[in-house]
């Protein structure tokens, strides 16, 4: 039997949880930054999933942090890409 109260509060808890810290700019990354609730509700069929999070912090220019997130919403690996190109449609 699933505890519905726990299931309903899980996304709220994960949104406030510190997921990782960017190794380049030292920005703390929380669940709400990467919209962890969308991962929980998605139909991911293979874990860990890779998630690219483009951000800027302090004096650092925009850069992508690639996170490898498992089904428990824990980061199993991360890397910062040296190159980024964003296109607007």
Could you read off the pLDDT of 18-60 as tens digits, one per residue? 999 999 999 999 998 988 878 887 888 899 999 999 999 999 9
Domain residues for 62? 4-80
By three-state DSSP, how is residue 49 classified?
Answer: strand
Does residue 88 fall inside a structural domain? no
For 73-89, the pLDDT digits (tens) are 899 999 998 887 777 76
Does residue 53 fall inside a structural domain? yes
Does residue 87 fall inside a structural domain? no
Which helix H or strand E contains 40, and what residues bound it?
Answer: helix 36-40
Does residue 85 fall inside a structural domain? no
Mean pLDDT value across the chain: 84
CA distances from 16 to 61, 79, 82 (A): 25, 22, 28
The total number of structural domains that make up the chain: 1
Does residue 20 fall inside a structural domain? yes
Does residue 86 fall inside a structural domain? no
Does residue 89 fall inside a structural domain? no
């Amino acid at each position: 039997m699933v505890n519905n109260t726990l299931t309903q509060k899980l996304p709220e808890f994960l949104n406030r949880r510190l997921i990782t810290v960017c190794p380049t700019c030292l920005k703390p990354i929380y669940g709400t930054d990467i919209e962890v609730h969308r991962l929980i509700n998605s139909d991911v069929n293979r874990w860990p999933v890779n998630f690219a999070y483009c951000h800027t912090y302090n004096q650092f220019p925009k850069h992508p942090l690639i996170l490898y997130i498992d089904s428990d919403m824990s980061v199993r690996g991360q890397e910062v890409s040296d190159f980024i190109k964003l296109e607007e449609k």
